[in-house]
Amino acid sequence: MTNTSNLSENIAKFYDTSSNLWEKIWGEHMHHGYYGRGGNYKVDRRQAQIDLIEELLIWANIKEVSNLVDVGCGIGGSTLYLAEKFNTKATGITLSSVQANRATERASEVKLEETAQFQVADALNMPFPDDNFDLVWSLESGEHMPDKTKFFQECYRVLKPGGTFICATWCHRPTNSWAGELTEDEKQHLEEIYRVYYLPYVISLPEYETIAKNCGFSNLKVDDWSMEVAPFWDIVIDSALNLEAISGLLNSGWQTVEGALSLGLMSRGYERGLIRFGLISGQK
């Protein structure tokens, strides 16, 4: 397995080189969309991404926020949306300097530069004091973490007593059911996803739940929204085939091209039940 420092560098490079293109083609939200409990809603891709944010807030019963951190903030899509929605102070962290700079620019563009701040930081060693945020938000960053336990420990540390942690992350199917352990073919499928998207590994939702319990989170909720988000990848694949996207890909380097060519890995992963979209929420 790639060591932590090299992994962080590779993740940063991947997003440094690809984020401008993703924003140009797909907008500011670099995460799944929500298509209803059965995955049958016919909604615009960007609206589906906003719907995912709103559904997560409803699911975790978040009604007010005074200070939040977005762990793995991308170019600030969720951070700025939440900052505006709750009229709150918001901080976003990412490994990519390109993303942090662009998020800062976007905050200024939407007149939120006084309340939303962005910086390059490691989620496994956050530069914040204990008991600092009443919402710790992690939307599709857990899969990038080389130490899932340390990640949850850090989220717990910076969370205020009574605050809420929300994590939505890529998982693999549970192995504690009748389906049993992952097959060699499933492992190879996952390895290809890891290689293309610079992931160290993913774990199952039950494993995340155990980690959350061991870290001290209370009032835990977990859910599997795989059906709700699965249509996203086919929609993204269709949008990646237009002339503007292809031209942009060719100018963005091989890493970005390979990522686009491999979108089907995720779509097929959902189809076969291997890839899952897991939700964990808890309080301190």
β-partners of residue 165 are 136, 282
Task: State the sign of the Cα–Cα–Cα–Cα dihedral 190, 236, 117, 60.
Answer: negative
64-to-58, 61, 67, 103, 111 alpha-carbon distances in Å: 11, 9, 10, 23, 21
**Does pTM top 0.85 for this prediction?**
yes
User: What are the tens digits of pLDDT across the range 118-152?
Assistant: 999 999 999 999 999 999 999 999 999 999 999 99
What is the overall mean pLDDT for the chain?
89
Report CA dihedral (267, 270, 275, 276) to the nearest 10 degrees: 130
Amino acid at 240: A
For residue 103, pLDDT over 90 is answered with yes
For residue 110, what pLDDT is reported? Answer: 95
Residues 243-258 have pLDDT tens digits of: 455 555 445 554 554 5
Average pLDDT estimate for 254-265: 60
Q: Kindly tell me the burial class for residue 247, based on how many C-beta atoms sit within 10 Å of its own C-beta (0-12, 13-18, 19 or more).
A: exposed
In the chain, % of residues over pLDDT 90: 70
pLDDT tens digits, one per residue of 37-53 = 888 888 888 899 999 99
Mean pLDDT, residues 94-122 taken together = 95
pLDDT given for residue 243 in this prediction: 47
The pLDDT tens digits for 216-246 are 999 999 999 999 999 988 887 666 555 455 5
